[in-house]
Amino acid sequence: MTELLKKHNAISVADLAFPPREGGYAKGHETREQILHAALQLLVDHGYRAMSMRRVAAACGMKLGNLTYHFPTREDLVRALLDAVIASYEVEFSAISQNPDQTPEHHLELYCELVLEDIRTKKTTRVFPELWSLTNHDPFVLDRVHELYARARAPLEAIIAKMRPDLDQSQCAALALFISASMEGMTIFAGYEKPFEPRMPALEAIATRAFIDIIRSIAAEDIPD
The DSSP call for residue 191 is S
| b/e per residue 2-37 (b: at least 16 CB within 10 A) | eeeeeebbebeeebbbbeeeeeeeeeeeebbebbbb
Site string for DNA, 56-75 (x = CB under 7 A): ------xxxxx-xxx-xxxx
Decide: 43 and 129 in contact? Cβ < 8 Å: no
Q: How many CB atoms lie within 10 A of CB 79?
A: 16
CB of 194 to DNA, least distance (A): 26
Is-contact 160 175, C-beta < 8 A? yes
**Using only C-alpha atoms, what is the Rg of the chain?**
19
Position among 29, 55, 162, 199 found at the interface with a second copy (CB under 8 A)? 199
86 binding partner (options DNA, a second copy, none; Cβ < 5 to 8 Å by kind): none
Closer residue to a second copy, CB minimum distance, 17 or 134: 134
**What SS3 class is residue 129?**
helix
Told to check if 196 binds DNA by CB under 7 A, we report no
Per-residue binding string, DNA, 74-103, x by CB under 7 A, is xx----------------------------
CA distances from 58 to 15, 42, 71, 193 (A): 21, 11, 15, 27
The verdict on 53 binding DNA (CB under 7 A) reads: yes
140 to 179: interface string for a second copy, x by CB under 8 A: --x---x--x------------------------xx-xx-
CB of 192 to DNA, least distance (A): 24
- Residue 95 as a binder of a second copy (CB under 8 A): the answer is no
163 contact choice in a second copy, DNA, none (CB below 5 to 8 Å, kind-dependent) = none
Q: Interface with a second copy includes 202 (CB under 8 A)?
A: yes
Backbone angles phi and psi of 177, in degrees to 5:
-60, -45
Sequence-separated (6 or more) residues with CB below 8 Å from residue 38: 56, 59, 60
Contacts of 34 (CB under 8 A, 6+ apart): 60, 62
Asked whether position 24 contacts DNA by CB under 7 A, the answer is yes
Per CB under 8 A, residues contacting a second copy are 46-49, 125-126, 129-130, 132-133, 135-137, 142, 146, 149, 174-175, 177-178, 180-190, 194-196, 199, 201-203, 205-207, 209-211, 213-214, 217-218, 222-225
Residues making contact with DNA (CB under 7 A): 21, 23-29, 31, 49-55, 62-66, 68-70, 72-75
